[in-house]
Amino acid sequence: MALDFLLKQNILTVVADGDLRDYDNQEQLKAVLQSLKKADKLCFNAENLQKWDSSLAAAFYQIIIKAKQKNIKIDTSALPDDLQNLVALALAVDRKPKSNDNKKLSFLENLGESGLQIFDGVKKSWAFLADTTKSLGRFFTGRAVLRRVDFEFALADCGYKAVGIVSLVSFMVGLILAFVGALQLKMFGAQIYIASLVAIGMTRIMGAIMAGIIMAGRTGASYAATIGTMQVNEEVDALKTLGLPVTDFLVLPRMLSLIITMPFLTMWADIMGMIGGATVAILMLDISAPQYWIYSLKAFQLANFLVGIFHGFMYGIIISCCGCYYGINCGRNADSVGWATTKAVVSSIVIMIVATGILTSILEALGI
């Protein structure tokens, strides 16, 4: 069975004959397309058409598109109704790629557009924070839609599973801090004060910062990727359809788990940093272990320790909010998931550093 044509008095009639399922005869189709050069009108004859599928509709689509380009009159009334509808549906979709030749905006227009984007981002952020605050309120009043298994899974993920990487990085930071301090303290024969330097530095801020950066790259990115993938797969829409608060179901268990574990991870980072400093002091600077730990305990202050724990607590809020916010506001494709993950990590680290500067100024003013 074939797709034939008849050209008479500048009228091209395309004849569909027999069973044309899985039609893929490019030679016949090419001959029909070439015959359009001599035609003023295009018609179809499907009297003897027995069976067809979308492959025939695709062939007719190519013929009609070519005819439109040449401004040829087209008559599809002889085609079966369902085939006419399928071809019309294909023609209704504009498959031309959108032009990237956008009009160049002026400086004021670019400034205004940037301002609108910033305003939209701030608006979304405040809405997310408001929903999260309401969710926390429902949790403390026992009305939150929160599954225990989700909370336990999130708690394990950002709890004991993160101890290994926090230990390694904090140990190396303490070791580096001791090395850097030794370069200057050795000039005055005051190597023993390396213990004080590491103890104060790690407990007050460095332990919290390192734990925060690690968890931003590890757990914050995981939150954004997980919720972002759920957004792509329309699972978030399904939760909304079921009437479940998204913040209760997705954000709350992750936020609570990170807020709980960050202070403990900060304490562990402090310990591992001091052990790293002790490694340098004992093995390379000939300081005895009892001396090192005595000077560490003398330098240790409860106020510095609590400041570090408070920073860890704040970092837990920041990381969880950033990760969940960018996950929920993720787009609908795979590229958007990568964008959301990157934004979550970068935003978490930037906000943590800014928050550290603000908190440090406030605590300094208060004499803490």
Q: Between the CA of residue 69 and those of 62, 74, 286, 319, 348, what are the distances in Å?
A: 11, 12, 87, 56, 54
Residue 221 lies in a domain: yes
Residue 136 lies in a domain: no
Q: Label the pairing between strands 11-16 and 41-45.
A: parallel
User: Which distant-in-sequence residues (6+ apart) come within 8 Å of 81 by Cβ?
Assistant: none
Structural domain for 311, as ranges: 141-366
Closest CA to 177 of 159, 196, 164: 196
302 with 163, same domain: the answer is: yes
171 with 244, same domain: the answer is: yes
82 with 180, same domain: the answer is: no
Q: Are 316 and 348 in contact (CB under 8 A)?
A: no
Residue 212 lies in a domain: yes
Residue 261 lies in a domain: yes
- Single out the residue in 67, 91, 115 at which a domain terminates: 91
Whichever domain contains 48, its CATH number is 3.30.750.24
- Single out the residue in 91, 109, 124 at which a domain terminates: 91
Q: How far apart are CA 316 and CA 123, in angstroms?
A: 23
Q: Are 304 and 204 in contact (CB under 8 A)?
A: yes
36 with 162, same domain: the answer is: no
Residue 165 lies in a domain: yes
Residue 162 lies in a domain: yes
Q: Between the CA of residue 20 and those of 4, 13, 50, 309, 367, what are the distances in Å?
A: 12, 17, 8, 75, 87
Q: How far apart are CA 169 and CA 10, in angstroms?
A: 80
172 with 303, same domain: the answer is: yes
pLDDT in tens, the chain (368 residues): 567 777 787 888 888 888 878 888 788 888 888 888 888 888 888 888 888 888 888 888 888 888 888 888 888 888 888 888 888 887 776 555 555 555 677 888 888 888 888 888 888 889 889 988 998 898 888 888 888 888 888 898 888 888 999 999 999 999 998 888 888 887 777 778 888 888 898 998 899 999 999 999 989 999 999 999 988 888 888 888 888 888 888 899 999 999 999 999 999 999 999 999 999 888 888 788 888 889 888 888 888 899 999 999 999 999 999 999 999 888 888 788 888 899 999 999 999 999 999 998 998 888 87
Q: Following DSSP, what letter does each residue of 139-186 receive, concatenated?
A: HHTT-----HHHHHHHHHHTTGGGHHHHHHHHHHHHHHHHHHHHHHHG
341 with 251, same domain: the answer is: yes
Tally of structural domains, the chain: 2
Q: Mutual orientation of helices 334-366 and 207-215 as an angle, nearest 10°?
A: 160
163 with 83, same domain: the answer is: no
162 with 299, same domain: the answer is: yes
Q: How far apart are CA 177 and CA 4, in angstroms?
A: 83
56 with 178, same domain: the answer is: no
pTM above 0.75, yes or no: no
Residue 188 lies in a domain: yes
